[in-house]
Amino acid sequence: MRKYNEPQSMIPCSECNIGMMHKTRVTYFTWLADELITVPDFPAWICDVCGKREYDLEALNNLALLLNPIPAQTKSPKASKSVQKSEGAKTSAQPPSPE
Ligand SMILES: [Zn+2]
C-alpha cells in the first residue's frame, strides 16, 4: 500500500475541465510602483491541455505581504510608562497605620 503524501500536486483545470493543472515553478512578474519586480521559482499551476496558468494563491498572499508591509500601529508607547510610574508612587506612599 502506498499513500501519496503530497496533497494537491495536481488539480483539475477549471478552464477546459479536461486537463490537469500541475504545480510548477515560474518566474513571476509584477509591478511595484514604477519598478518591475521579478520573482524566480514562484509556485504556479499550469494546465497540460490548454496551458492555463494560475499563480499559487498562498504564494501570492505571501508576496503581497512582503511587498506591502502593513505599518505597525504603535499606540503611544509612553502611556504605559507613566501608568507604571504612578502605580509605583501609590505603593510607596502608604498611610501610617495607627496603633
Ligand atoms: Zn486546461
- How is the chain split into domains, by residue range? 1-69
* 14-23 pLDDT tens trace: 999 999 999 9
46 CA from centroid of ligand 1 (Å): 8
What local confidence, expressed as pLDDT, does residue 9 receive? 82
Task: Note the Cα 76 to chain centre separation in Å.
Answer: 26
**Residue of 79, 66, 2 lying closest to 32 (CA atoms):** 66
Question: Can you give the pLDDT at residue 97?
Answer: 74
| Ligand 1 ion: nearby residues, β-carbon < 5 Å | 13, 15-16, 19, 47, 49-50, 52
The predicted structure's pLDDT at residue 83: 52
**Among 25, 23, 26, which residue's Cα sits nearest to residue 10?**
23
pLDDT at 92: 57
User: For residue 12, is pLDDT > 60?
Assistant: yes
C-beta separation of 46 from 22 below 8 A: yes
3-state DSSP call for residue 91?
A: helix
- With 70 as the cut, is the pLDDT of residue 80 above it? no
Could you give the percent of the chain with pLDDT greater than 70?
A: 67
Please give the distance, rounded to the nearest whole angstrom, from the Cα atom of residue 37 to the centre of ligand 1: 27
Q: Topology of 1-69 in CATH?
A: Ubiquitin-like (UB roll) (3.10.20)
For the entire predicted model, the pTM comes to 0.57
